[in-house]
Chain A
Amino acid sequence: MKTFPIGGVHPSENKKWSKAKAIEPMELPDVVTIPLAQHIGAPATALVKKGDTVKVGDKIAEATGFMSANIHAPISGTVTAVDLQLNGQGLRQMMISIKREGDEWAEGIDLSTDLVKECNLPSAEIIARIKECGIVGMGGATFPTHVKLSIPEGKKAEILIINGVECEPYLTSDYRTMLERGEELLVGTSILMKAVSVEKAVIGVENNKPDAIKHLAELAKGYEGIEVKALKTMYPQGGEKQLIAAVTGREVPAPPALPIDVGAVVCNASTAVAVYEAVQKNKPLVQRVVTVTGKSIKDTKNLLTRFGTPVSALVEKCGGLPEGDNRVLNGGPMMGRPMSNLQSPVMKGCSGITVISGAEALRGEPSACIKCAKCIEACPMGLEPYLLAKQSKKKAWDAMEQNDIVSCIECGCCQFTCPANIALLDYVRLGKQTVMGIIRARNAKK
């Protein structure tokens, strides 16, 4: 069984808490706040103002330029404000607030659950529909999908890879989606194949989800060119570059090279389902499956949640936060963003709410680096985290650039594995952000 070539770690999976829980719908919130920046790229431009009434699926914000995404109303009701609201990190961000009145969907959206297999649209039309429906990568990176599917001039896609790896511990939203919405996923995959004109698609799933592999492999027999591939469980296999290497054996060169440079296009499994809904049902992206999990969460769930629902509502539905101190994460424990404001909304990239409680919530006391090289062994990008962290502390940005800091994918393997408990990624991330800033400034000057 294959996996990616360098590094990787084995965090405790902890998927058992929520993997058996079928997807259930979350109650509609009375008020939602929808950030205009839910994706990588420019924030969308609001199309509504205070007092406007909207239906579910109405476009309320439009993509600003190519590298951006549309945003649609997740509930029907009245817009109460378009202003700065606190996000999960307690920082102010432009958001549209809507007060709910009923649940009325916009016209032209097919709400039936019938499977529509047939799709004879040309590539450009598919991409246009995906763009219109505001689809972004739902694995957490939130890269606008229409950008990914628009193959640049002179390059050619050879293979489509559907990312069903879900290597983050705890999270099970992709897993439940693969089990419960397998057919839609496969239709979505074949639509994506058409969009990028490839003959072959591989759905990569880690072998810790044997039932998902079996289920999808069974269904895939009915679709041409789609293969389900079991991969050896290893974090961070869900990283785009790691997955491409695991599936095809090809390594995407260092930035600015992109997956398309080795002929690969990668989409998340949940994204494929969203693509199906967008193209076949004209249904924009207004909701997603969010895993609410944690060792001390009373009733873990996989909730189909409308965007804009406050995180606290999800946590309450699952039994509330446990007593004492908790770390509440937007995402999983390896790459999730920590939250300080639980009134903040669920967004397009939120695959789970993970709660880490008690002693685990605190970091261990760091001690001296013993140069054990475990971080080098663990780094899936072949970098030297100990050195980069040291250079970042000294603000040696040039040296960091020479040591390929821009290749860092911030997967956290180095810090996870460090026996001296050193916060390697804290420093490496700071260095990466600074170096990227320096590079951008340099390119802008040219």
Chain B
Amino acid sequence: MANRTIVASAPHVHGPLSTTKLMGDVIIALLPALAVSVYVYGWGVLAVTAVSIGCCVLFEALIQKFLVRGKQTITNLSAVVTGLLLAMNMPANIPLWIVAVGALIAIGVAKMPFGGLGKNPFNPAIVARVFLLIAYPVQMTSFAMPSTEGFVDAYSGATPLAAAKAGLMNFAEIDALGMFAGNMAGSFGEIATLALLLGFAYLLVRRVITWHIPVSIFATVAVFAAVYGAFSLDTPHLVSNFALFHLLSGGVVLGAVFMATDYVTSPMTTKGMVIYGVGIGAITMIIRLWGAYPEGMSFAILIMNSVVPLINKYIKPRRFGAKK
């Protein structure tokens, strides 16, 4: 036999999916929101994004080369996704060195020590964001006001949630349409709701994620807000406005679509995903309404991340032949 036969057990063909392709799809899905941020906040957004991605990739490459001493893993693009998400969780006018610190925390503390992609219990971008929020509260909450005339870092404004926390929000006059399009203060990735939903649609069409986590988060936030509003608002007829406000403000959409659905740190089964989503929605609202912080999405995701192993252990998919 001149040619050797190659032997391996079935299946003998492989589908089109690869880790790199999935990560690439997430990046593509984030681009519209990034574009809106550039339009709203100016070119500074790109500087933050570039530093964040660059640092994440660099740190992963260095750690992999000198500490882990394994095969380079940056080609799977997961560091790029982490960098991009981290950037989108920061104000547009944040000092760039803080961005670099964030990248170090995300890759060097939250991801690589656990063994790299696939083994980290917490979402690296969120760990970094929460660290920065606690370490540099001033810089992390000084949001540039939306501007269409280039990069503005001179004055900062309060996010709608901070205003609501301070009791300064008039729910009769919320600008839902403006919020939907991205006309509000906040971390630059979270403002462009419409663009984020566009990304969500793309991820669904490409079957990168399923609807379970985002939709259960949205539903929980809306129901929670509506129930709370109905009982405690002075103006009960504004319940729908109140719910809409909580859905559109802060990081709910960004968090639900892109952060909570991170493969590694979310449950494996659809039932588990719903439990996880409901948990995130409820914790977010509890923090928003009764906690010290105006926004609780990051904390909620981290808390639910810690429950994921438990969910995976006890929530099993329906076996074929078992009762429906």
Contacts and interface: CB of A to CB of B under 8 A. Distances in A.
Nearest to A255: B321
B9 interface: yes
Contacts of B148: none
Interface of B (DSSP majority class): loop
Interface stretch (B13-21, B53-61, B84-92): B13-21
Interface stretch (A44-52, A104-112, A273-281, A419-427): A419-427
A374 B116 CA distance: 20
Contacts of A377: 210
Contact of A363 (B14, B19, B22): B14
B320 A251 contact: yes
Interface residues on A, range: 35 or more
Contacts of A11: 13, 15
A372 B267 CA distance: 9
Interface in B149-199: none
Interface stretch (B124-132, B235-243, B311-319): B311-319
B6 interface: yes
B317 A416 contact: no
B21 to A, nearest CB: 7
B22 A419 contact: yes
Most buried by A among B10, B14, B73, B119: B10
Nearest to A235: B11
Contacts of A228: none
B11 A335 contact: yes
Contact of A429 (B4, B9, B21): B9
B18 to A, nearest CB: 5
Interface string B302-318: 00000000001000111
A104 B44 CA distance: 88
A251 B321 contact: yes
Interface in B39-71: none
B11 A334 contact: yes
Contacts of B287: none
B112 to A, nearest CB: 12
Contact of A384 (B5, B8, B268, B321): B268
Interface of A (DSSP majority class): loop
Interface residues on B, range: 35 or more
B201 interface: no
Nearest to B266: A371
B12 A329 contact: yes
B264 A383 contact: no
A361 interface: yes
A339 B5 contact: yes
A338 B319 contact: no
A387 B269 CA distance: 12
A285 interface: no
Interface of A: 5-6, 9, 11-12, 169, 241, 245, 251-254, 257, 321, 323-329, 331, 333-340, 342, 354, 356, 360-364, 367-374, 376-377, 379-384, 386-387, 403-404, 407, 410, 412, 415-421, 425-426, 429
The 10 closest A-B pairs by CB, nearest first: A412-B11, A368-B118, A419-B17, A253-B321, A382-B319, A333-B12, A373-B268, A372-B263, A381-B320, A333-B13
Given A11-B15, A367-B73, A426-B9, 12 more contacts: A6-B320, A11-B13, A326-B6, A333-B12, A339-B7, A368-B119, A370-B264, A377-B210, A382-B320, A384-B316, A407-B319, A417-B15
Interface of B: 3-15, 17-19, 21-22, 73, 76, 78, 115-119, 210, 263-264, 266-269, 312, 316-322
